[in-house]
Amino acid sequence: MAVVREFTLPDLGEGLTEAEIVRWMVRVGDVVAIDQPVVEVETAKAVVEVPCPYGGVVTARFGEEGETLDVGRPLITVAVESQSPEDAVPVGADGPSANGESGSGNVLVGYGTSGPAARRRRVRQALAPAAPQTAALSAPAPAPVVPVAPVAVAADDRATGPVAVISPLVRRIAREHGLELRALKGSGPDGLILRADVERAIAAPASVPAASPASVTAPAVAAEGTRIPLKGIRGAVADKLSRSRREIPDATCWVDADATELLAARAAMNAAGGPKVSVLALLARICTAALTRHPDLNAMVDTERREIVRLPAVHLGFAAQTDRGLVVPVVRDAQTRSTEELSAEIARLTEAARAGRLTPAELTGGTFTLNNYGVFGVDGSTPIINHPEAAMLGVGRIAPKPWVHQGELAVRQVVQLSFTFDHRVCDGGTAGGFLRYVADCVEQPAVLLRGV
């Protein structure tokens, strides 16, 4: 006998409450193994492959690619072979089944399979062939039943019958463009209206009657411009920066530095035949040395207890621009790493960020941030502190400029360094001392060889 297990979107950690479906990795009717990834979702921090703790046949998928689901909402149901004739009580990934069976026990960043069930619903279903589309479970019957695609019924549809639409995303797109769904002919199984059908209708609006004003709940916004939802990574960045501006009384100081010797030192290190070292890695090494001298800046403010918390380890974040937006990967225990090790870890995290493979653990817990905006060809900036950190070093482009060197005017490689700090944790003297030490190391890398 086959029983059905319902797998819900798990808590992906760090207080995340929702995730967007990026790519389904299985279809209805596929056989999945325990802990096999079934869907790729994008949270506010990273793209994550979600493994299913059950093995069996996929009987239903919930949600389409591009749709956002809340934590705890169903993702898929899986028909699992069972020796017990009792009814199955499907549960999420957080609990065991009623007949004593359980999931894999696997843990994915912040969730497990041994806690209490978050949601229970009694279902009995024999293992039956599945349709190739998203499907819900049918009622029990004497003979095997093929799962049938569910039909969502909106409030404005009940008077004249349901519209063959599953996805809320499809309804929302139609509503925003004033399309009457009943006028559309669905290309999916049993006339199911798909997103592609709505998009084709939008491209040829003259062939589709517009919805009545009463059924259009969202106002037309064509004349107001394009609206882009603040969600995912963009939404998380917006929330964090807004909180930083609200809570942190920041101040910024800056200085120009001659980086000619720093570039020469890097060239010499890379010519030696060892692992290649980046300029960002050299700056990271300088930052860790400067924070050892000025530990007040490797800190955070506990507002509830009105205390400054100095942190023992430097978890160095660095800003990385990706197709999904700005992310800040974190190099753990940066103060214990050599320049070569810093360079290798920064390269690894940067590649993972651009591929969308960073885990939430690699994007959280930073204590200080290095922001190299010089890669965009700009000289200066007043960066916003990455809450709840206490400071951030900004680095502009390194460019040839006239500079007085050894009493004579010369063309040197000059960089502008800007330092934004939380004025609650220190005064200008500490901030100026930190920035001056960084500038001295940039101008004379041998300063790093002195005891810190």
Q: Which residues of 344-360 are buried (b: 16+ CB within 10 A; e: fewer)?
A: bbbeebbebbeebebbb
Cα angle: 342, vertex 348, 353; to 5 degrees: 120
* Catalytic annotation, pick one of 294, 315, 387, 423: 423
| DSSP secondary structure code for residue 277 in this structure | -
Element containing residue 310 per DSSP (H, E) = strand 307-310
Give the Cβ contact number of residue 110 at 10 Å. Answer: 15
Contacts of 342 (CB under 8 A, 6+ apart): 281, 284, 285, 331, 334
**373 backbone dihedrals φ, ψ, rounded to 5°:** -85, 0
Distance separating alpha carbons of residues 178 and 170, to the nearest angstrom: 12
CA nearest 43: which of 93, 142, 109?
A: 109
CA-based radius of gyration for the chain: 28
CA nearest 149: which of 90, 195, 190, 194?
A: 190
Count CA within 13 A, CB hemisphere, residue 185: 1
Q: Which two tokens stand for residue 98?
A: 């009623």
Contact in structure between 149 and 139 (CB atoms under 8 Å): no
Distance separating alpha carbons of residues 442 and 434, to the nearest angstrom: 13
Q: Is 423 marked active-site?
A: yes
| DSSP secondary structure code for residue 210 in this structure | B
Distance separating alpha carbons of residues 154 and 161, to the nearest angstrom: 10
**Alpha-carbon torsion 214, 219, 221, 226, what sign?**
negative
Tokens 């960089």 belong to residue = 415
Contacts of 293 (CB under 8 A, 6+ apart): 433, 434, 437, 452
- Active site residues per annotation: 423
